[in-house]
Amino acid sequence: MSTTGPKTENIAPDKLVRVTFEPEGKTVEFEYGTLPYEHHGKPMSFLDVAENFDIFLDHACGGACACTTCHLWIKDQTGISEAEDDEIDRLDMAADQQLNSRLGCQAVITKPGNYVVEIPKWNRNYTSEGKPLTLAEGK
Ligand code: FES
């Protein structure tokens, strides 16, 4: 497991947020409330966290709850915002939906703690193969 991000030894344990992205086991740590908003998804969403730490989590619609490419499985949803109706509707279109499925751009960390999320296999394959092909124009 690797940990990236700013030094965390000066962060009080009750303010520490630790997020592990599986299956890579990449863990990031930061002080709750100090993460700059990267304008991808809701502030403090898992997509926002991933963008802050250069962890690739696809987000074809830019975090607007209009696709399902940021689909994640969240191990324990304690401390995570409740899904709103538009997220629930969108998740119905996601491949491989599970009880712990959330959209990475909509699921927000609401308090310090440890969080573990998994990027579904199909999404990892997608990311390892790069961006989707686009049809050649005018041919
Ligand atoms: S990035 Fe499109 S729904 Fe999350």
Report the predicted TM-score, pTM, of the whole model to 2 decimal places: 0.84
Q: Of all atoms in ligand 1, which is nearest to the CA of residue 104?
A: 4
For CA atoms 125, 89, 17, 54, give the dihedral sign. positive
Q: Of all atoms in ligand 1, which is nearest to the CA of residue 62?
A: 1
pLDDT bracket for residue 122 (50, 70, 90): low
Residue 90 lies in a domain: yes
Encoded tokens for 134: 């686009």
- Which CATH number characterizes residue 109's domain? 3.10.20.30
Residue 4 lies in a domain: no
Residue 95 lies in a domain: yes
Provide the residue range defining the domain that includes 75. Answer: 36-123
Radius of gyration of the chain (CA): 15
- Pocket around ligand 1 at a 6 A CB cut-off: 41, 59-61, 63, 65-67, 69-70, 90, 103-105
CB 72 within 8 Å of CB 119: yes
| C-alpha of residue 139 to centroid of ligand 1, in Å | 31
CB 103 within 8 Å of CB 71: yes
CB 27 within 8 Å of CB 116: no
How far is the CA of 75 from the CAs of 15, 63, 130, in angstroms? 20, 21, 26
Residue 119 lies in a domain: yes
- Give how many domains the chain has, as a whole number: 1
Residue 137 lies in a domain: no
Residue 49 lies in a domain: yes
Residue 94 lies in a domain: yes
Q: What are the pLDDT digits (tens) for 83-109?
A: 999 999 999 999 889 999 999 999 999
Residue 107 lies in a domain: yes
